[in-house]
Structure 1
Amino acid sequence: MTKLAFKGKKVKGIQNEERFIPSKNGGPDIRVRIFKPLNVNGKLPCLEYIYGGGYIIGSPEMMPNLDIIKQFIETRPCVVIAPAYRRALEAPYPAAFNDCYDTLLWAKENADELGIYEDKFMVAGHSAGGGLTAAVTLKARDTQDVNIAFQMPIYPMIDDRQNTASAKEMVDVPAWNAKSNKKGWDSYLKDIREKNEEVPTYAAPARNKDYKNFPPTITFVGDLEPFKDETINYVEELKHEGIDVKFKMYKGCFHSFDALVPKAQISKDATKFTYDAYGEFYDKYVK
């Protein structure tokens, strides 16, 4: 598969657009994909969808991201904006984080043109996209730049320390294991580690110690993957502060099981949980 294999691929049954938006941090223009339902009347909520890939691979168009985006739109009408953020092998932290946060700010600043509400955003992503979701949400909480109605960091990659039991022990599991996890973090934090600097919470949101005033959160994780413990810890911290959280753990499941074996019943259950919870929180916190 080449780097550009799916670039610009269209999704049938919804509006498709590609734009290049300015960076606010001196980086190159950010390629973003914008998806809308057909025959839109009036404004819609906006969901920023952030793709996964261990911070080192991926694109908005890489499977199954376009299917995920379409299903969000079909479950509840929204405008989805998906940034093609810079990956760590070309530009380590803070490039990806800046691209994702800049996309959110751009969407708010251009809300009228995009046909979206400027006061209620949703952010979602899987894996490293889940980590960036948590990071973007954390900064929005800190700065009050954008109001996040709810977030969906699905099996998020949020703890660079890799000191939990699951991060250490998941060596021989499929898809993403302790070795690939180390490679992803080493790539993403390359510049920080070379300078011997402290890892910021926007790079690794599990390092955050203040969970007050977070938005409602939806997530799930399998129990046979490195991110199990850090996801559970994140959920427990949110619950401790009284944040509305919907969470499931799926036994016997490895990383990205829902995408890699979508026809398995447990994967269907996880997919149903994702969009049922999204619909519930949309109705409760956005609509």
Structure 2
Amino acid sequence: MARDGGGPGLCFQYLGVPELDDRLEPRSMRDYVDTPLWNRPAAEVSWDCYLGERRRGTVDVSPYAAPARAEDLSGLPPACVSACQYDPLRDEDIAYAQALSHADVPTELVLYPGVIHGGQVPESSVSNRILADMVAALRRGLAGQAR
């Protein structure tokens, strides 16, 4: 919206396991219906709260609300997108990173193998790695050095 509305200028996007597609169609969304922390039922509730009941998956959802619907991603700032293997959001996150790359947006995709949504296992090595990766990506991005 900032790009299309003339500002403010954004220098970087950090998209940590983002929820991007209200249609809930990717295979990972169908496969992970009962995973801990985040699953398809949680995504349904989240989208219904955000968009209003009975709007999720309809044609009138704006790409500003559900970025996976956007047809033109060109001119967006560099991005870092993270995804986790056992996360219902995995496939939409990977697809969005690919779409950004195809639109010539400098994009880093980080996939965490063997991890549920966000890697939320307190004080685990993978949680520490995800936090360190996030901080490093934000530092690079905000310094204008996104990969």
TM-score (norm 2): 0.89
Q: Which residue of structure 2 lines up, in the alignment, with residue 60 of structure 1?
A: none
Residues 269, 162 of structure 1: alpha-carbon distance in 2 compared, 3 angstrom cutoff: same
Larger CA Rg, structure 1 vs 2 = 1
Separation of aligned partners in 1, 2:10 and 2:65: 19
Any idea what SS the aligned residue of 1:239 has?
Answer: helix
Q: Unaligned stretches of 5+ in structure 1?
A: 1-138
Separation of aligned partners in 2, 1:192 and 1:252: 34
Matched, 1:214 2:90: no
Among candidates 24, 27, 35, match of residue 165 of structure 1: 27
Deviating beyond 3 angstroms after TM superposition, the runs of 4 or more aligned structure 1 residues are none
Matched, 1:186 2:43: no
Separation of aligned partners in 2, 1:160 and 1:182: 8
Asked if structure 1 preserves the Cα contact closer than 8 Å seen for 2:38 and 2:88, the reply is yes
List per-residue Cα deviations over 1:15-43 (Å, max 9, x = no partner).
xxxxxxxxxxxxxxxxxxxxxxxxxxxxx
Matched, 1:236 2:91: no
Residues 281, 198 of structure 1: alpha-carbon distance in 2 compared, 3 angstrom cutoff: same
Q: Which residue of structure 2 lines up, in the alignment, with residue 201 of structure 1?
A: 63
Residues 187, 262 of structure 1: alpha-carbon distance in 2 compared, 3 angstrom cutoff: same
Q: Which residue of structure 2 lines up, in the alignment, with residue 261 of structure 1?
A: 121
* RMSD after superposition: 2.0
> Aligned pairs, how many?
145
- Corresponding letter in the other structure for 1:276: A
Identical positions, percent: 30
Any idea what SS the aligned residue of 2:109 has?
Answer: strand
User: How many angstroms does 1:202 deviate by?
Assistant: 1.4
- Greater strand share, structure number: 1
Separation of aligned partners in 1, 2:59 and 2:103: 30
User: How many angstroms does 1:192 deviate by?
Assistant: 6.5
Asked if structure 2 preserves the Cα contact closer than 8 Å seen for 1:201 and 1:208, the reply is yes
Q: Which residue of structure 2 lines up, in the alignment, with residue 283 of structure 1?
A: 143
